[in-house]
Amino acid sequence: MVLSVVICTYNRGKYIPMVLDCLEKQSLPKDNFEVLIINNNSPDDTDEIVNKYLSSSSLPIHYFIEYNQGISYARNRGVNEATGEIIVFLDDDETVDSDFLLNIKTFFETHPDAGITSGPVVPVFEVTKPQWLSKYIERAITGRYDKGNEIKKLPPKDYPGTGHACFRKSLFKKYGDFNTDLGRKGNSLMGAEDKDFFLRLMNGNESCYYLPGARIYHHIPAEKLTDSFFKKITYAMGKSERIRTLNLGKAFYYKRLLLELFKWGASFILWVGYLITLQPAKGNKIIGFRWNLTKGLIGL
């Protein structure tokens, strides 16, 4: 069984050596995997950095430039170019343990019913973790994902993100590609392509497992912890949900609006709780999160 590690990148050239270095140190023999780098028109020095790495690395790297702008286009290109049976997505700001690929290969070989796996995501803060970052919004900002220390099957409500997930390549033929109307494009912070794809698979009763041995470390720079980034990404989350649900039909959109009302109630309760425990920064940020997302969802 060959694994295809797909790294889609945009404007993060400085992180690429860090990502590739951890793949160089994998305990899985290199003839058991390939690395596909999909450069999505990066305006920085990504091209120069990757080509320099190619001249000195022993990794089985295949390098492509995807001219259609957007993470969904880049991921679809990676899947189409991959020769392996298992697609391992790794974001361009993530690192992994040395047994990461070995654990994934072993799991798929011993669990023939598994179509998808996802491991924990551990944020690595490049600056001090802000006081306003509560567990209720940390996943949206840092990608933190932790379902415990045991292998388990995941329900649809616990769908993971693509940046820490692996798929049997055959699923893309069965369910189609990532929706190119969704996801980040250039410097935009749009999303929901993950949710759209995972829900298609899980509504099709494909088995998605949590694999604690496939841990990923997500590196968080200072700019992702600013107020401006917070406003942009939370608004983009709402706008992405608006597009995703309207693509499914107005009934799905109205159902999502109703769910948003319940989320406002929960957010208010959490805000009160944080005020009582003298943590107003966390409570205020939860309200800000809900407000920005709702504006995007209703199209303000």
Task: Show the CA angle centred on residue 211, arms to residues 16 and 91, nearest 5°.
Answer: 20
Cα 165 from Cα 89, distance rounded (Å): 6
DSSP 130: P
Cα 83 from Cα 85, distance rounded (Å): 7
Give the end-to-end CA distance of the chain in Å, rounded to a whole number.
49
Amino acid at residue number 247:
N
The 3-state DSSP class for residue 56 equals coil
> Where does CATH 3.90.550.10 sit in the chain?
3-224
Amino acid at residue number 191:
G
Contact 223, 168 (CB under 8 A): no
At the fourth CATH level, the homologous superfamily of domain 3-224 is: Spore Coat Polysaccharide Biosynthesis Protein SpsA; Chain A (3.90.550.10)
Cα 262 from Cα 265, distance rounded (Å): 5
Contact 6, 88 (CB under 8 A): yes
Q: Residue 175: its pLDDT value, please?
A: 94
Burial class for 285, CB neighbours closer than 10 Å (0-12, 13-18, 19+): buried
Contact 183, 191 (CB under 8 A): yes
How far is residue 65 CA from its own chain's centroid? 20
- Which two tokens mark 96? 């992994």
Other Cβ atoms less than 10 A from the Cβ of 113: the count is: 8
pLDDT along the chain (300 residues), means of 10: 94 92 96 97 93 88 95 96 97 96 97 94 95 93 94 87 93 94 85 88 90 96 94 95 93 96 97 96 97 96
Beta-strand relationship, 165-168 and 86-89: antiparallel
pTM over 0.75: yes
Q: Residue 235: its pLDDT value, please?
A: 96
Other Cβ atoms less than 10 A from the Cβ of 282: the count is: 21
The 3-state DSSP class for residue 145 equals strand
Q: Nearest-CA neighbor of 141 among 209, 233, 77? A: 233
What are residue 152's DSSP bridge partners? Answer: 210
Amino acid at residue number 153:
K
- Interacting residues of 67 by C-beta distance below 8 A, sequence separation 6+: 41
Contact 122, 95 (CB under 8 A): no
Q: Whose structure tokens read 């055959």?
A: 170
